[in-house]
Structure 1
Amino acid sequence: MKSTLTFLSLLLGLVFSFEFQAQPKNESELQNNYTDYFKSNRHSVFLHLNKNILLQNENLWFAGYVYDLQTKTPEMETTNLEVSVFNANGKFIESLTLYTFQGKASGYLPLTKKDYKPGKYFIRASTAYIENLNEDLSFKSEFQIINDSKRKQPEGNLTYDLQLLPEGGHLVQEVRNTVGVKLIDQHGLGVEFEEGHVLDNDLDTISKFRSNRFGHASFNIQPDENSTYSVKIYLNNGEVVEKTLQDPNRSGIVMRTTLKQDDLQISLLTNENSLPVIKDEKFYLGISQDGNIKNLVFKFPNNKKEAIFNFSKDSLYRGINRITLFNKEFQPILERLVFNDHGLKLDHLSTGSVKKINDSIQIEIKGIKDETARLSISTLPQKTEAYSPDHSIISAFLLKPYLKGNIENGDYYFSDEHSARRRNYDLDLLLLTQGWSKYPWSQVLTFKRDRTIGKNKGFDLEGEIFSKTRPGDKVFIRNEKSGLFEIIDVEDNNRFSIKNLFIEDSTQISVGLLRNRNGKMKKPSISVQIFPQKERTRLDAEQIQPSLKPVPVLSIPKNFITDNEVLDTVNLKASKRSEKKKDFLNAPTSSALSNYIEINETIASSNYYITDLIEKNFFRVRRTPANIEIWSQTPFTFRDDLGPSPVIFLNGVRMGQDLSFLYNLRTSEVKSIYLNRSAAAGYGGNYEGGGVIKIKTKTGASRFNNTNNSTLTLIANNGYQPYKEFYAPKYNSYNNSLFENYGVIDWEPDMVIAADSNKIHSIYNTLQDSIILYIEGITQSGKLISEKIEVKIN
């Protein structure tokens, strides 16, 4: 026979229809299940666009941020940020991969006329790790390309969705309930209204309310047993929207939360009908966030219809707190999200001097005390209407990862342009009308970990050789652009692979088969793939809700923006002497124990392998079946002694213990080598005083003499987007309203300001009296920065 509490749970009408097959049996199991669900460090992403509304012939520039939700710091492991673009209907257009370092990336989107006609588009950022989670922690933003086309016909009448949402999830008779109100249109955007009425059976108004700018409101009601209630909304355009309030439960519990200046009050209220049922029954009040959970076990006081708890804000989690009431069987009954602003990791920037120098303006940006900050800065005219993101970095990381529904204008809740009291009130209304958290308890409490979700670091190359191979044969792989140079074993099944490659998209990869017997290279018959491969996805209907307001009809001159792009200047002049000096000075030390050698034909002919040359310079080399071992031979070691190992660099990259790439590296393939046996020459945490060897290989066709016919050249079908420096469009005028409203002045994707330092932000002088800096960023310790700073030029 079911317990009375189970019966009460049924009366409450649980929000989720649980089918727990292995629900927690005790408090410890509840905590362990919850913690295990979030065990892998979860991260979220944010894209800072240089603007949302673009003119034709402009490109879209953006900076990406990856944030560890548990440590509240930049996510340090992920190196691949996947960015995809979709049209207004959610159809895939293209994707690219950005190289991410210490939680930061930058990229751009060339908006060619062929693929990007005037209209609305969506850009989405994610990672392979996020794509493997049950919840969507990706980031999506809308941008629009405009021209001077004729005004489109209006879409027709708006339709409305009025939602009435009891706090905690349930409405109970004879108890004072709080009900959230949410009015949205067919696009999912909030509809503001001046007047709302709560009506009883006789259609008499028992209370009135009004919404905020997002169509959110609330009212209190204590429903009678035999009454029905409805809500009528009077819109500013004269329309009326009505909805009947759900019938209250005869028995049950309701939750009411009150955020005060220093604490949070949670009130659990019930009625006379429920007292016999809940008498002596045990409840669990959980406060949780990102794998951390605090539980409070309690019973309702004898013959009392309320249980009230007060928590100081410094005992809560920073940001979103998930408050859940569980019954004794650990089924969630009620839930409410609240936001705790105590101790938030936020910081602010300011500007200093502003100077005009020739055709540029130099703006001093003051750094943060004791913190190094990484920033992205969009510089636009003061009158701009082209920048209207739905999220700042703060709302993207402190709100978006926890809410199921759409957050309209999330940056508003953290903007200093509005009073903190108003923003906090509106934020609480947002959470009241959002309902339950993004993470369903039905998944969390029954979760069984069957695998570890990895995080992408670079790309993996996998291949298969179809021609005949012999034992000991190896595969040579070279990517000139990235400096990749690898010699790897061929597996028994004629397959080969390399993991964690850092290569650029659409660059050449040379592959050759090295014969073990004679060291000669042969062009193989192979197939090669690079993973992860690009995927063509599509946005669901709920993901393509527009957020940008319609742009008024504009008159855009035909040649207002030119197509010309300023190309990077490349200086190809160099001298052997300067290169030699540069390589020599880059060595850790210079002493009598060091030698710098530029390889010429004489040296190459007398030292077939580079290891032969290394041995002649007082290093010991030993070949094993699987590796090369090298030791330093100092004046204080005997011939048979094994000294410490040197630190070895190949093309500026420090090698690990695997030196097998030296097996067949011919001296003729090397441009220069620097050897230093001094115990003071090395560096690094595991350095043993064995000196340094720096090898620099030849580039291009000279990398291998007469081997063009011995390697197969492939084009990488996947890789990182090449870095490109921002260039401002060329406008034919800077003193008209079109540029002032929709033009762009500058974009800085990755400014680093050291702790307690200032940085100069230099921009082109477009003769504006005032400009706006839109700044997003993060510090090393995870403090979030979002600023809108107006700078007066004259």
Structure 2
Amino acid sequence: MKTKYLFLFIFLLSSVSAFCQQEKNVEDEYAAYFTLPREALYVHLNKTTYFKGEEIWFKGYTYDQKNQLTSKATTNINVGIYDEAGNQLKKSLFKAENGVIQGNIAVDSTFSGGTYYIKAETNWMKNFKESNAFVQKIEIISEEVAKKNTTETEANYDFQFLPEGGHMVANTKNTIGFKLINESGKGVKASGIVYDSNKKEVASFEGNTFGLGKFLFQPKADQNYTAEIKLENGNVLNQAVPKAKNRGVAMIVSNPFPDKVIINFNTNAETLKSNPSKEYKVLIHQNGNLKTIAFAFENATEKIISIPKKELFKGINTITVFDDKNTPILERLFFNDFFTKKAKIHVSKLNMLNDSILFSISESQLKDNANISISVLPEMTKSYDPDHTIVSNFYLKSHIKSAVENPQYYFRDMNRKKKYELDILLLTQGWSRYNWDTIFGDKPNGLNRFENGIAISGTVNRPKPGVDRLFLYATKNHSARFIELDKDQKFTITNLFLEEGEEIRFSYMTEKGLFKKPSVYLRFSVSDEEDKISETTIKENSKVQSNSADFQLPENFFYDNSEQLDAVVIKAEKKKEKRDPILINGKVTEITEIETQRYINITDFIQYNGYNVSENLGRISITTRRTPKASPVIYFDNARLSSFNILYNLSTANVERIIIDKTGLGEGMNAGFGGVIKIYTRTTPLFKKGEAAEIFTGSTAPFAFTPAKEYYAPKYSSYLNNTFEKYGAISWIPELKLTKTKAVNFKVYNTKTKSITLFIEGITESGDLISEKRTIQIR
């Protein structure tokens, strides 16, 4: 009897489990998969082909895919260089501010001529199976000739029939996409005829220059079809047409209209006979946004659905059709241009200024402020060949599974013809990069966090008792402050932006207010794991032959003295400053043993020099003695203080120099009526020997931020030769703000080039993307 009840319980449990699985809500599963926001990156390079000795200049743009805005969640962007096999050679950390980064990487002696890759990603991107890291192939030209295998091989072609939605259905209308590529993955133009088994022509087709096209076809059940494909070179290919399903649903999407998209669903009598009232669900979705439409054929073999584009999502939308068992049966991507705004960039030459040319740039179509970058190259350049623009990268790449030949073509100067060709491209892409088995399966867990700066955890080892806080000295990006310790004398500091080679320094304060050197164990936390570019990604970024394949750098192309030299550090005895370069009436006092004996704390010194100083429970107030009373502007290690509490109990022995200017002249209106005080903490010992000579401990981060440098152009020996015209660089403008109301001027060095080309990439405050190419005649 117990066994009988046990079997009954197991049966009921399995039935409930099966029912729950069957009733799994598609919309909820989809929404759960896209709960975590997804970042994408685009990096605008000044070139893609470089000489040894040049710099790779770049600007990176981060993007929130769901909201289609600049992403500001992450500040840490890792940018690396990888060899031809995808192995990491070097990696640097760059700081994003307001969603953009600027940087450069030297093409130094570690590079040899050949192929490399630049990759940029964030730690957050590692949470997702669908990678949004940016990868771009680059070429390096050196004095050595890069030998390439030029052995000719017999041309091979790959022709594919790609039914719209994923399959053909017999005895009904279908749209069949097709693609013809050569062994290098390049599209090949061709035309063809489809024959039935009796050699009767039933359809014809013709592809574009990318080898893509489509045609209408109504196959019969259990019929075999073949296609005869004719290439432009006269070659003929024969290809079998995939067999149509006897039952099912076909989908035809029509997207030439400015305000709506029409979806035509077709089926046959055989399908209706098996289940005439069967219901289907259409999900139109994009990065977590979705719209659901239910339909049934209702004893008809055709169902037409018209959807206003304003109810859908900007850019690529995915249509997925589910049957009554929540199984995806059809999928198709299409581009919704209803919300996309086209920038209208105006660039004009104003005049010559000495050895420079002044330009004016504005936009009249977008009604929003924009942040852009510009690469300025000779008109005949061969050195700029990026896989994507910012538009194709964010609108197209993040939705498709495979690489696309010349994706920039579809979005630059988009017209009716290009919209039609883009629709064919999306038809032949098949299903999107997001796999439904994955969506219904494991969801992203977010274990890799958004990274903002460097985190430091530390423990004070000496002195062990009595220390409850440490003094953290100012750095380039942070003001000085006290760090509280817990009961075990441990501490954590987050969001630190330490630059390469920059030292972080600590002291602890004694009861007498003296800074002493602690023994501190530090652990830095920031992601810097070595990685590798996958073979699939490398294959997608490969091309037939690089621009530099048969090119050799000519002699004396650069000036002999044009190579950038390492910084030279001259060590000398530090002189005492007598005047401050800004404070005209500033009185400079170098703190010696005499001052430390006369003034125990620095606030005593300030009070002696004409200010009222009050202390109350650790709070410091400083005002002038004259009426009306006003507080001075105080700088602590060049960081302006918003509160003076850091000066509480600060020993004068810890200060190296103090400058007081009661007038504040030179500081402008910022000084107000209280004057200016500048305090500099001690970096040299006050005493020549003894314990007091060691007042801090310091350490550098093993992986810190690379500071952005100002662009400098290479010094070419001549701007009039063929090499400069093809591979030289004129200028790089990484940061230019376009406003809604007026034009912005910029200037470039005059290389006497007849015509120049500007490659412009950027994004507006509301998330509209800008990608423009402008050629301007100079002479």
Instruction: Tell me which of 287, 298, 303 is aligned to 2:284.
Output: 287
- Partner of 1:592 in structure 2? none
Q: Does 1:745 align with 2:740?
A: no
- Partner of 2:10 in structure 1? none
C-alpha change, 1:24 and 1:378, in structure 2 (3 Å) is: farther
Q: Does 1:669 align with 2:655?
A: yes
Segment of structure 1 superposing worse, 437-446 or 765-774: 437-446
The one-letter amino acid of 1:788's match is: K
Instruction: Tell me which of 680, 703, 707 is aligned to 1:697.
Output: 680
- Partner of 1:711 in structure 2? 696
Whether the 8 Å CA contact 1:190–1:213 is kept in 2: the answer is no
- Partner of 2:4 in structure 1? none
CA distance, structure 1, for counterparts of residue 104 and residue 479 of structure 2: 25
Whether the 8 Å CA contact 1:599–1:668 is kept in 2: the answer is no
CA distance, structure 2, for counterparts of residue 658 and residue 160 of structure 1: 75
Instruction: Tell me which of 550, 555, 565 is aligned to 1:553.
Output: 550
Instruction: Tell me which of 422, 430, 434 is aligned to 2:429.
Output: 434
- Partner of 1:388 in structure 2? 385
- Partner of 1:209 in structure 2? 205
Whether the 8 Å CA contact 1:668–1:705 is kept in 2: the answer is no
- The correspondence of residues 10-159 of structure 1 with structure 2, limited to 5 A, is 25=23, 29-113=25-109, 115-147=110-142, 149=145, 152-154=148-150, 156-157=153-154, 159=156
Whether the 8 Å CA contact 1:486–1:661 is kept in 2: the answer is no
C-alpha change, 1:267 and 1:51, in structure 2 (3 Å) is: same
CA distance, structure 2, for counterparts of residue 308 and residue 658 of structure 1: 71
Match of 1:535, SS? coil
Q: Does 1:422 align with 2:389?
A: no
The one-letter amino acid of 1:142's match is: K
Q: How far did 1:190 drift?
A: 2.7
The one-letter amino acid of 2:729's match is: V
- Partner of 1:608 in structure 2? 600
CA RMSD of aligned residues (A): 4.1
The superposition leaves residues 489-515 of structure 1 with CA deviations (integer Å, 9 ceiling, x where unpaired) of 344555432110011123333344555
The superposition leaves residues 50-100 of structure 1 with CA deviations (integer Å, 9 ceiling, x where unpaired) of 111122322211111112223322222321111111111111111111111
CA distance, structure 2, for counterparts of residue 342 and residue 529 of structure 1: 51
Whether the 8 Å CA contact 2:591–2:656 is kept in 1: the answer is no
Segment of structure 1 superposing worse, 257-266 or 472-481: 472-481
Q: How far did 1:128 drift?
A: 1.2
TM-score (norm 1): 0.83
Q: How far did 1:448 drift?
A: 5.2
Whether the 8 Å CA contact 1:390–1:547 is kept in 2: the answer is no
The superposition leaves residues 584-628 of structure 1 with CA deviations (integer Å, 9 ceiling, x where unpaired) of 9xxxxxxxxxxx9967456654443446668885565344xxxx4
Match of 2:266, SS? strand
The one-letter amino acid of 2:457's match is: E
Whether the 8 Å CA contact 1:59–1:108 is kept in 2: the answer is yes
The one-letter amino acid of 1:735's match is: L
Q: How far did 1:135 drift?
A: 1.8
CA distance, structure 1, for counterparts of residue 466 and residue 167 of structure 2: 72
CA distance, structure 2, for counterparts of residue 337 and residue 229 of structure 1: 27
CA distance, structure 1, for counterparts of residue 661 and residue 30 of structure 2: 55
The superposition leaves residues 102-121 of structure 1 with CA deviations (integer Å, 9 ceiling, x where unpaired) of 111111111113x2111111
- Partner of 1:299 in structure 2? 296
Q: For this pair of structures, how many residues does the alignment match? A: 742
- Partner of 1:254 in structure 2? 250
Q: Does 1:457 align with 2:452?
A: yes
Q: How far did 1:461 drift?
A: 1.9
C-alpha change, 1:313 and 1:163, in structure 2 (3 Å) is: same
- Partner of 2:348 in structure 1? 352
Segment of structure 1 superposing worse, 457-466 or 272-281: 457-466
Whether the 8 Å CA contact 1:474–1:515 is kept in 2: the answer is no
Q: How far did 1:239 drift?
A: 5.1
Instruction: Tell me which of 525, 534, 552 is aligned to 1:531.
Output: 525
CA distance, structure 1, for counterparts of residue 600 and residue 155 of structure 2: 79
Whether the 8 Å CA contact 2:518–2:696 is kept in 1: the answer is yes
Match of 1:324, SS? strand
Q: Does 1:729 align with 2:714?
A: yes
CA distance, structure 2, for counterparts of residue 21 and residue 562 of structure 1: 77
CA distance, structure 1, for counterparts of residue 199 and residue 158 of structure 2: 21
Q: How far did 1:176 drift?
A: 1.6
Whether the 8 Å CA contact 2:755–2:777 is kept in 1: the answer is yes
Q: How far did 1:477 drift?
A: 4.1
CA distance, structure 1, for counterparts of residue 51 and residue 732 of structure 2: 16
The one-letter amino acid of 1:716's match is: A
- Partner of 1:318 in structure 2? 314
Segment of structure 1 superposing worse, 361-370 or 533-542: 361-370
- Partner of 1:3 in structure 2? none
- Counting aligned pairs with the same residue, the percent is 30
Whether the 8 Å CA contact 2:86–2:535 is kept in 1: the answer is yes
CA distance, structure 1, for counterparts of residue 687 and residue 99 of structure 2: 38
C-alpha change, 1:765 and 1:515, in structure 2 (3 Å) is: same
Q: Does 1:162 align with 2:145?
A: no
The superposition leaves residues 638-668 of structure 1 with CA deviations (integer Å, 9 ceiling, x where unpaired) of xxxxx99999875565778996795656564
CA distance, structure 1, for counterparts of residue 18 and residue 513 of structure 2: 65
What runs of 5+ residues in structure 2 fail to find an aligned partner?
A: 1-16
C-alpha change, 1:79 and 1:244, in structure 2 (3 Å) is: same
Match of 2:480, SS? strand
Whether the 8 Å CA contact 1:198–1:206 is kept in 2: the answer is yes
The one-letter amino acid of 1:280's match is: S
